[in-house]
Amino acid sequence: MAEKEYTETSEAQIAVHWGEEGYYMPSVKFIAQANMTDETIYDRFSLDNFPNCYKEYADMLDWYEYWDEILDTSDAPCFKWFKGGKINACYNCVDRHLDEYKNKTAIHFVPEPIEEGYQHITYQELFVRVNEFAALLRDFAGLKRGDRVTLHMPMVPELPITMLACARLGVIHSQVFGGFSGRACADRIVDSGSRVLITTDAYYRSGSLIDHKQNADIAVDLAGKDGQTVDKVLVWQRYPGKASSSTPMADGRDYFVNDVLKDYYGARVEPEKMNAEDPLFLMYTSGTTGKPKGCQHGTGGFLAYTAGTSKYVQDIHPTDVYWCMADIGWITGHSYIVYGPLAIAASSVVYEGVPTYPDAGRAWRIAQDLGVNIFHTAPTAIRALRKIGPDEPVKYNYEFKHMTTVGEPIEPEVWKWYYEYVGKKKAAIVDTWWQTETGGFLCSTIPAIKPMKPGSAGPGMPGIHPIVYDDEGNEVEPGKGIAGNICIQNPWPGMFQTIWGDRDRFVDTYFARYCKDPKSTNWQDWPYMTGDAAVVAEDGYVRILGRIDDVINVSGHRLGTKEIESAALVVEEVAEAAVIPVAHEIKGKEPDLYVSLKPGYEATDELAKKVSDTISSEIGKIAKPRKVWIVKDMPKTRSGKIMRRVLAAISNNKDEGDVTTLANPEIVEEIKKMVQG
């Protein structure tokens, strides 16, 4: 198989890594109430019992027709789970809870402005709102089973309502992170072939009411130029009946949802009986090229896996108040704010704004007010909360029984603050390592069974069997202290099914490198390559070092360096661009951008700003580089390849190694002076 090119400056290479830490035990009180305390789960989910072990997760769901084949590998590596089964995700997350829980809160919505208080949406209300909106989508927007629809929505309850309404109809939703630009939204509209865009007029962030509708106009316009017509834009209003955005509505194209919904009062929509393997949603993520990949997640497998892991790893009981602070625009929110928790009748908190707004105590006041007892966030948020208010959490009277960290490696020091100050030494912590592609957790601890170890994600989940390979494809044994490319030996139900419309890219990116036989229909021949480097300790606990490819994890968000570089090249004056990851105190990593100019242009601060602004408008503010360094020339090999490794060493104040073989070694000193002063 074709050798893929791997990056010469990966996150994993610049990882500052820590040693093995000691174990922390969960409290007796936690264990006494935990959903999963039976250690034999690891045997039940051993490779010998694969794939039948996953029946346990499937049985947490209600099926219209029970499946007859647990895993179909005939089109490997596009695996199909629970074949023959018929199911509806919305029914499982809403309808089936009504008998017992209709009066219980499904979603606690916390608007950012404090004076707006809290909203508590019961399962009954969720049922009503989802049904009415589903009727609107079907009868007004003309959407039907199998259609794709793009959502570009912030953290408001209308987002899960929209997702569930789509799921009810079998419409495949593709939610684009609200902070992404109109351009980024357009690319996803085009790739998914959406003719309907669902958005919101405005939302609060850090105290400002942000005009979001303007992004829809840009997105529709750019998508049209790229050949995808959007004929309807459905606009939820932050304040129903009141204009919060000055962007005008396009006649015959844009509709306020709240106006149209009046026609669907009392409507009920029969959930579609979907095949277990029908797609539920697309989630675009960055890869090694400029074009984001639409990860296609299936219905039965995804829901079973997220329900099972929400129950066993998140330890959610219907009586708990669960707050995952991620954005629903990312996979964490799909799996662990919406589908997983709601499938097991959780009360899930949705917070509109910034956790540190207006002050360091906000998050802890929300926890105190709502009685949150399960808390889930990313190291970047933990670092930020610690920095601005290290003693703040202990001032508030909440009690977490369980806390999660997700999205990036967490430094043991930060972990310990989380444990001592946020968890008040009472909460069990799980560090969950996984990816957009994987739908749910890959490595973590089952909190009542395995002890915690700061800085380590933990062993493979029950039914997930990691293996580390070196570049030659030899297995790296655990306990040797040697890093390698971490892969998963077996498929699992939460795993994505393919890249939307690009099976070849799916196979090339995730399987080609370590596939034992490209013609094989045995799952054993198709280890899944995660794209992360990892070290596995003797006890099987995994420490993730970071990406081995051209992907940077900024504040727990994935960005492709090639995406940022292509955005920089949109600027007329720019000739070449190179992005490298730099270590950052709060964000974990941050992109540093080097550009060289076409002849005749001069390096100015205005030009640097123009490049930076272009990246914000092309991708979104999260991709904004730490700094745009305009250099005379890039350090290059004699064959003309940009030496990103050298730039990364300079940005990270590391030794740049031997540069004498470069075509232009003298440029290195010059750039170094500029960057390091």
* Minimum distance, C-beta of residue 309 to ligand PRX, in the bound complex (Å): 12
Question: Cβ closer to ligand PRX: 272 or 532?
Answer: 532
* Minimum distance, C-beta of residue 189 to ligand PRX, in the bound complex (Å): 21
SS3 of 220-275: HHHHHHCCCCCCEEEEECCCCCCCCCCCCCCCCCEEEHHHHHHHHCCCCCCCCCEE
| H or E stretch covering 13 | helix 11-14
User: What is the per-residue DSSP string for 461-498?
Assistant: PTT--EEEE-TTSPBPPTTS---EEEEESS--TTS--E
* Minimum distance, C-beta of residue 619 to ligand PRX, in the bound complex (Å): 14
Question: Cβ closer to ligand PRX: 105 or 335?
Answer: 335
Is residue 54 within 8 Å of 67, Cβ to Cβ?
A: no
Question: Cβ closer to ligand PRX: 257 or 542?
Answer: 542
* Minimum distance, C-beta of residue 332 to ligand PRX, in the bound complex (Å): 5
* Minimum distance, C-beta of residue 456 to ligand PRX, in the bound complex (Å): 9
Is residue 534 within 8 Å of 541, Cβ to Cβ?
A: no
Question: Cβ closer to ligand PRX: 61 or 331?
Answer: 331
Tokens of 515: 């596939």
Question: Cβ closer to ligand PRX: 92 or 285?
Answer: 285
Question: Cβ closer to ligand PRX: 466 or 546?
Answer: 546
Is residue 368 within 8 Å of 424, Cβ to Cβ?
A: no
Is residue 408 within 8 Å of 553, Cβ to Cβ?
A: yes
Question: Cβ closer to ligand PRX: 370 or 464?
Answer: 464
Sign of the Cα torsion 371, 373, 378, 379 reads positive
- Determine the residue type at 239: Y
Tokens of 11: 């996150």
* Minimum distance, C-beta of residue 440 to ligand PRX, in the bound complex (Å): 9
* Minimum distance, C-beta of residue 173 to ligand PRX, in the bound complex (Å): 18
Question: Cβ closer to ligand PRX: 140 or 528?
Answer: 528
* Minimum distance, C-beta of residue 672 to ligand PRX, in the bound complex (Å): 29
* Minimum distance, C-beta of residue 591 to ligand PRX, in the bound complex (Å): 15
**Cα-based angle 78, 83, 86 (whole degrees, multiple of 5):** 125
- Determine the residue type at 327: D
Helix intervals (H) in 262-336? 300-312, 331-333
Please provide the distance, in angstroms rounded to a whole number, between the alpha carbons at the two ends of the chain.
Answer: 46
* Minimum distance, C-beta of residue 302 to ligand PRX, in the bound complex (Å): 14
Which residues contact residue 37 at a Cβ distance below 8 angstroms, ignoring those fewer than 6 apart? 31, 448, 449
Please state, as a whole number, how many other Cβ atoms lie within 10 Å of the Cβ of residue 537: 16
Question: Cβ closer to ligand PRX: 331 or 649?
Answer: 331
* Minimum distance, C-beta of residue 284 to ligand PRX, in the bound complex (Å): 10
* Minimum distance, C-beta of residue 487 to ligand PRX, in the bound complex (Å): 12
Q: CA 198 to CA 71: how far, in whole Å? A: 35
Is residue 343 within 8 Å of 306, Cβ to Cβ?
A: yes
- Determine the residue type at 162: T
Listed residue (303, 429, 315, 305) closest to 36, CA to CA: 315
* Minimum distance, C-beta of residue 508 to ligand PRX, in the bound complex (Å): 17
Q: CA 218 to CA 646: how far, in whole Å? A: 38
Q: CA 514 to CA 529: how far, in whole Å? A: 7
Residues that bind ligand PRX (CB under 6 A): 285, 331-332, 406-409, 431-436, 457, 530-532, 544, 546-547, 553, 558
Question: Cβ closer to ligand PRX: 220 or 551?
Answer: 551
Question: Cβ closer to ligand PRX: 9 or 285?
Answer: 285
Sign of the Cα torsion 329, 335, 340, 343 reads positive
- Determine the residue type at 313: V
Question: Cβ closer to ligand PRX: 175 or 596?
Answer: 175
* Minimum distance, C-beta of residue 592 to ligand PRX, in the bound complex (Å): 18
* Minimum distance, C-beta of residue 553 to ligand PRX, in the bound complex (Å): 5
Strand partners, 577: 595
Question: Cβ closer to ligand PRX: 170 or 439?
Answer: 439
Which residues contact residue 294 at a Cβ distance below 8 angstroms, ignoring those fewer than 6 apart? 174, 188, 191, 192, 282, 283, 284, 499, 500, 501
Question: Cβ closer to ligand PRX: 285 or 445?
Answer: 285
Question: Cβ closer to ligand PRX: 332 or 596?
Answer: 332
Question: Cβ closer to ligand PRX: 136 or 382?
Answer: 382
Rg (CA), the chain: 24
Measured CA distances, 150 to 140, 174, 272 (Å): 16, 5, 20
Q: CA 24 to CA 416: how far, in whole Å? A: 10
Q: CA 521 to CA 77: how far, in whole Å? A: 8
Helix intervals (H) in 351-423? 362-370, 379-388, 412-417
Is residue 346 within 8 Å of 316, Cβ to Cβ?
A: yes
Supply the DSSP symbol for 25. Answer: P
Q: CA 567 to CA 571: how far, in whole Å? A: 8
Pairing verdict, β 119-122 and 172-175: unpaired
* Minimum distance, C-beta of residue 211 to ligand PRX, in the bound complex (Å): 27
